[in-house]
Amino acid sequence: MSTKPATETRTIDRQLPSSAALLNTSPTLTLIAALLGFALITLDASVVNVALPSIGATLGGGMSGLQWVVDAYTLAFAALMLSTGAFSDRAGASRAYGIGITVFTLASVACGLAPSLPVLVGARAVQGVAAAVVLPASLALVRQAYADAAQRARAVALWAAGGSVAVALGPVAGGALTTVWDWRGIFFINVPLGAVALALLVRAPRSERRPAPLDLPGQLTAIVALTAVTFAVIEGGGTGLAALAVAVVAALGFLRVEARQTHPVVPLGLFRSRSVTVAVAAGAACSVAFYGVVFLFSLFFQQVQGRSALYAGLMFLPMTGLIAVTNIAAGKLAGRFGPRLPMLLGQSLAAVGLLILLDVDSSTPPVLVALLLVPMALGCALTIPPLTAAMMDAVPSDRAGLAAGVLNSARQVAGGLAIAVFGSLVSGDFESGLRVSLALSAVLLVVTAGATWGLRAAR
């Protein structure tokens, strides 16, 4: 699974730099700068999971606090991504990228220095906002740096591969930094990397500013709805019920706004296509499974089996190390047989992998657990590239970037909500909650596999 955001985001083709400008810039350095920024924001979506027990021991907050450490980043990232493609166009990709990396780096310092859990959660939210700006801007930088279509395609492929590598390294890097340094190290390490990205940005061509409409009412109602429903799931009780009511009102307001907007952040008409609906649902189900499993087993290895953060991170290496290779194989299968077959195979394999994990308990050898995690990860990795292709094929070319942004946001939101729900389930009896969470994830994948099966009739 490419647990990064989808490899295309909302962006408008820009006028290529003049030949004189290109002489003073380096496409390779621009690509490295864009890839480094993309890898940073992708890494931060998963690197924190393994450090959660250490964060909890230092700052307290219980399970709900640890859920917010992850979800504050994920939800801000997902919700703001609906509009940051337009912001990148209006500000210019190079300016937007510079702003995003600067804010992300400063927020990382704030995370590392956080004296309390609320401060850490707030800084994580700022990181998520910055990450949402960096993603579309980094892709736009790559596209403008290469005039030749073939070279540009290879560069975009390398950019996407950087995200896959970051996903694979996330748990291991988080475990290593937490063990050798401290949990604060997973944030401080972003500072030199962010500085390098900004230094390389100097060699990137200045980007044209392009007019792009912003749907502020739609964006604001989406943020309120997503934040409120996550708060309701994590906090529960009377406060949770009030938050749920706010979420319902905000969601209805969002639908009303989007139906009337000339340039909505989520064009509801996209979902008239069954292929689009199935692709979004399948992508969300895979994110629930993948992000949920990484979150749950990061806690399982440390809190249930008493292993170190480094040991826990290494246990994810078999499942994450094969993601990039499987993504490539999935692309080839989709090219030969169409997206439906690899999507079916992937979702089925992931569902079976989740069911296999139901037998895991505190006495299961960690190395065996690590191997049992592989089928789920491979299934998700087999599903995401073809479902992205299916969605792109189902929309007009002028809406491809927008559709990819919607898909990417849906996947991130699903991952954030999975952590909120699963964290609540395991807050009591961990092993019982773990099994319920795995079963729910498997059911979602079975349902979306059935919808994928129906795509043949839809065509």
Query: Same domain for 207 and 61?
Result: yes
Asked if residue 8 belongs to a domain, the reply is no
Average pLDDT of the residues in 94-115: 94
Mean pLDDT within 130-143: 85
| Chain centroid offset of residue 172 CA | 18
Q: Which amino acid is at 165?
A: V
Encoded tokens for 114: 């956080």
Q: Average the pLDDT over 163-170 and give the result.
A: 79
Residue type, 302: Q
Task: Check whether 143 has a pLDDT greater than 80.
Answer: no
Calpha distance 325→327 (Å, rounded): 5
Of residues 161 and 421, which shows the higher confidence score? 421
Same domain, 124 and 206: yes
Return the ∠ at Cα 41 (arms to 190 and 320), rounded to 5°: 100
Contact (Cβ atoms closer than 8 angstroms) between residue 56 and residue 65: yes
Please list, in sequence order, all residues whose beta carbon lies within 8 angstroms of the beta carbon of residue 52, skipping any fewer than 6 positions away. Answer: 66, 69, 70, 295, 298, 299
Written as six digits, the tokens of 18 are 């003049």
- Is there a contact between 41 and 139 (Cβ–Cβ < 8 Å)? no
User: Per the structure, how many domains does the chain have?
Assistant: 3
pLDDT interval class at 401 (50, 70, 90): low
Q: How confident is the model at residue 344 (pLDDT cuts 50, 70, 90)?
A: very high
* DSSP 8-state assignment for residue 269: G
Q: Read off the pLDDT band of 23 (50, 70, 90).
A: very low
Q: How far is the CA of 396 from the CAs of 11, 196, 276, 335, 399, in angstroms?
A: 14, 38, 12, 19, 5
Q: What is the pTM of this model?
A: 0.81
CA distance 315 to 172: 8
Q: CA 302, CA 229: separation in Å to the nearest integer? A: 29
296 and 432, same domain (yes or no): yes
Judge if 274 and 225 occupy the same domain: no
Name which of 16-25, 109-118, 131-140, 187-196 the model is least confident about.
16-25
Range of the domain at 245: 216-262
Contact 84, 136 (CB under 8 A): yes
Nearest to 346 by CA among 459, 224, 446, 244: 446
Q: Are residues 176 and 285 in the same domain?
A: no
Domain membership flag for residue 174: yes
Count the neighbouring beta carbons within 10 Å of the beta carbon of residue 295. 27
151 and 287 in one domain? Answer: no
Beta-carbon neighbour count of residue 362 at 10 Å?
10
**In terms of domains, do 315 and 341 share one?**
yes
Is residue 47 included in any domain, yes or no?
yes
Q: Percent of the chain beyond pLDDT 90?
A: 36
Q: Which of 196, 213, 230 is the last residue of a domain?
A: 213
CA–CA gap between residue 286 and residue 374 (Å, rounded): 14
My answer on whether 340 and 403 are in the same domain is yes
d(Cα 280, Cα 271) in Å, to the nearest integer? 9
Instruction: Answer yes or no: is 11 within a domain.
Output: no
CA distance 344 to 103: 40
Residue-level pLDDT at 339: 86
Supply the pLDDT for residue 398. Answer: 57
Burial of 316 (0-12, 13-18, 19+ CB in 10 A): buried
Tens digit of each residue's pLDDT (9 = 90 or more) over 425-441: 998 889 999 999 999 99
pLDDT-based confidence at residue 208 (cuts at 50, 70, 90): low
Amino acid, single-letter form, for residue 96: A
Buried b (16+ CB within 10 A) or exposed e, 203-219: bbbebeebebeebebbb
Task: Please name the residue that has the structure tokens 């009303």.
Answer: 256
* Structural domain includes residue 6: no
Which CATH number do you get for residue 193? 1.20.1250.20
CB 101 within 8 A of CB 194: yes
Q: Which of 265-269, 381-385, 410-414, 438-442 has the lowest mean pLDDT?
A: 265-269
> Residue 304 carries which DSSP code?
I
**Which of 204, 235, 262 is the last residue before a domain boundary?**
262
Q: pLDDT value at position 12?
A: 36
Write out pLDDT tens, residues 220-233.
Answer: 898 898 888 888 88
Angle in degrees, 0-180, between the axes of helices 62-91 and 52-59, rounded to the nearest 10: 110
Q: Give tens-digit pLDDT for 345-359.
A: 999 999 999 999 999
208 with 227, same domain: the answer is no
Asked if residue 453 is part of any domain, the answer here is yes
7 lies in some domain: no
> How many other CB atoms are found less than 10 A from the CB of residue 307?
17
Most confident of 26-40, 57-71, 121-135, 390-404: 121-135
Q: Are residues 134 and 71 part of one domain? A: yes
* Selection from 60-69, 75-84, 125-134, 172-181 with the highest mean pLDDT: 125-134
pLDDT band at 304 (very low <50, low <70, confident <90, very high): very high
pLDDT for the residue 205: 66
Query: What's the confidence (pLDDT) of residue 194?
Result: 92
pLDDT given for residue 209 in this prediction: 66
For the residues 7-33, what does the mean pLDDT come to? 53
- 54, 197: one domain: yes
pLDDT at 8 over 50: no
Residue 18 has what pLDDT?
A: 42
Largest interatomic CA distance in the chain? 66
Q: Does the pLDDT of residue 338 top 60, yes or no?
A: yes
Considering the domain boundaries, does residue 2 fall inside one? no
**68 lies in the same domain as 196:** yes
